[in-house]
Chain A
C-alpha cells in the first residue's frame, strides 16, 4: 500500500474506515494519560499552578505550525505530483489548523495575563502566530469563495507554499528578537531546559495532540470526499432534470 494506491478515493475511504476507530481510541487513551499527568505535575516554584497552561498551550502552538507544514506538503502534491487527494488533504487541514492556532493564541493570552500582566503584547512570536492565524482564515475564505474545487486547489497551493515562509520566522522569532515570549526551551541545543516532571507530560500531550490532528484530519478528508460525491451527484441529477 503506497501513497499512489490511496489516489483512489474509494480505497482511501475503505482504509480510513478501518484505521479511524483505532486512531480515535489511541488519541483518547493518550489524551487521558497526558491530562492526568499534567494535572498531577508539581506546581512551578515561580509560576504556581498556572504553569499547567503550558501542557495545553505548547502542543497547540506546535500543531499550528505542523498543520501548515502538512498543508505545504499537500500543496506540493497538488502542484508537482498531481495527487488527486492532495487538495482534499490541504482543504480539510485548514480549519483544523486554524482551530489549533486560535487555541494557542487563546491559551497563551490566558497564561500571559498572570505571568506578564497583559493579555496581549505585540511581540515577535505573538505577532507572527497571529499572522499565521490570519493566513489560515484567508485560505479558508479562498476555498469558500471559488466554486470550482480544482481551480481553488491550485491557487490555495501556491498561497500555502508562499505562507510557509512564516514557519521558520515563527520558530526563530524568539531567538532573533529578544522579546517578551521566552526563548525555545524544549527543543534546543544542549538538551531541554525543562525538568523531567514537566517534560514527560508535555511530550505525552504533544503526541496525543498530533494523534488528535491525524484523527480529525482523516475524518475531515472523508467528509470532504463524500461531500464532493454528493455534490457531483446533485449536479448530474440537476442536469438530467434540465435535459
Chain B
C-alpha cells in the first residue's frame, strides 16, 4: 500500500515478529482468563483417566501396563476437544477477519495461534501427567517417559488439529464431524507416542527410534498444519 507516514501508523515499522508475539500473548491471556477454558482440558484429561479404572477394573498391575496408552488417549481427546474453538471465538467477534487481512502472513498467524494454544492447553496436560501417573500406578521412569513423549508429540496433535479447527469455522460445523476428520490423522502420533513409552517400560525395542519418529511427526505437522489451516481459512471465509 503506498500510504506513507510512520507517524499515522506507528506499528508499520515494527517487524512481523512483534505482531506474532502480540497474538501469542493475547491468545494465552484469553485462554487463561474467565471464559477461556484452556484449563478445562486438564480437567477433562483427569476425568478420562479416572474413568479408566472403572472400565478395566482397579487391577494395579493391569493399570500400570495400560498406563501410557490411557494417558496418551486422554491427552489426545483433551487436546482435540479444546481445539474445536481455536478459530471459532475469533470468528464470532470478528478478530479473525482482522488477522486474515493483516500484513502478517496468515500461515504465520495460524502457527502463532496454534503455538499459543499449545502453551495454554497442551503444556498443562504434560504438567498434570506425573500426578495422573500416580493414579495409574506408573513408576518414576515410566511417568517421565510418558511426559517426555507427550512433550514431543502433543505439538503434532495441536498442529494437525488446527486444520480441523479451520475447517470447523469455515463450515460452521464443529464437534463430531471434525473429530471424525482429524482423528485418523492423529493415529500415527498415537502409535509412536505409545510405542516409545512402552519401549521404556517393557522393552524390547529401543526408546530412540519411535521417539525420533514422534519428533519428526511433530516437525512435519508444524510445517503442514499452518499451511493447510491458512488455505482453508482463505478459501472458506467469505
Chain A residues in contact with chain B, CB under 8 A?
79, 127, 131, 134-135, 137-139, 141-142, 145-146, 151-152, 154-155, 157-159, 161-163, 165, 169
Contact = CB atoms under 8 A, between A and B. Distances in A.
Q: Is the interface of A mostly helix, strand, loop or mixed?
A: helix
A158 B231 contact: yes
Interface string B37-76: 0000000000000000000000000000000000000000
Interface stretch (B93-101, B107-115, B173-181): B173-181
Q: Is the interface of B mostly helix, strand, loop or mixed?
A: helix
29 contacts: A79-B231, A79-B235, A127-B187, A127-B191, A131-B184, A131-B187, A134-B184, A135-B185, A138-B180, A138-B181, A145-B173, A151-B170, A152-B171, A154-B232, A155-B167, A155-B170, A155-B171, A157-B235, A158-B163, A158-B228, A158-B232, A159-B163, A161-B228, A162-B185, A162-B224, A163-B184, A163-B185, A165-B224, A169-B188
Nearest to A158: B232
B171 A151 contact: yes
A147 B62 CA distance: 47
B236 interface: yes
Nearest to B163: A162
Nearest to A145: B177
Interface in B154-171: 160, 163, 166-167, 170-171
A157 B228 CA distance: 10
Given A79-B231, A127-B187, A154-B236, A159 B171 contact: no
Contacts of B232: 154-155, 158
B181 A142 contact: yes
Nearest to A135: B184
B217 to A, nearest CB: 10
Contacts of A131: 184, 187
Contacts of B224: 162, 165
Closest 8 CB pairs of A and B: A154-B235, A158-B232, A134-B184, A138-B181, A138-B180, A155-B167, A131-B184, A135-B184
Contacts of A157: 235
Contact of A146 (B173, B183, B184, B185): B173
Contacts of A163: 184-185
Nearest to B182: A138
B181 A159 contact: yes
A163 B188 CA distance: 12
A141 B191 CA distance: 25
A119 to B, nearest CB: 20
A154 B170 contact: yes
Contact of B236 (A127, A151, A161): A151
Nearest to B229: A158
Given A158-B163, A162-B163, A145 B171 contact: yes
A137 B176 CA distance: 13
Nearest to A137: B180
A141 B182 CA distance: 12
A99 to B, nearest CB: 18
A138 B178 CA distance: 9
